[in-house]
Amino acid sequence: MSSLEERLTELEVRFAFIDDAVTALNNAVSMQDQAMLTMRRELEHLRSDLSGLRSTLGNDVSNEPPPPHY
């Protein structure tokens, strides 16, 4: 092979590895994004449950008068 063909082959091999790496990273980011969305939904659910428990127990902070120093 000529030097030009060797260089072209080397670039094609490198491109294939880079393409595989980008695909793997894209999949990882996609999975992390899904996990974060799931955690955000769960956090909102937990906040809602906590708010409901506070109001049920009579410890709703929003209904308390401000402290005397205000």
Count of the separate structural domains present in the chain:
1
Q: Considering the chain, what is the average pLDDT of its residues?
A: 90
Residue 22 falls within a domain, yes or no?
yes
Both tokens of residue 63?
A: 């209904």
Residue 4 falls within a domain, yes or no?
no
Report whether 54 contacts 60 (CB < 8 A): yes
54's CB contacts (< 8 A; 6+ apart) are 60, 61
Residue 27 falls within a domain, yes or no?
yes
- Angstrom distance (rounded) from CA 35 to CA 41: 10
Say what the pLDDT of residue 53 is.
87
Residue 55 falls within a domain, yes or no?
no
Q: Residue 38's domain spans which residues? A: 17-42
At 4-32, the pLDDT tens digits run: 999 999 999 999 999 999 999 999 999 99
Residue 26 falls within a domain, yes or no?
yes
Report whether 54 contacts 61 (CB < 8 A): yes
At 29-63, the pLDDT tens digits run: 999 999 999 999 999 999 999 988 888 887 656 66
Residue 34 falls within a domain, yes or no?
yes
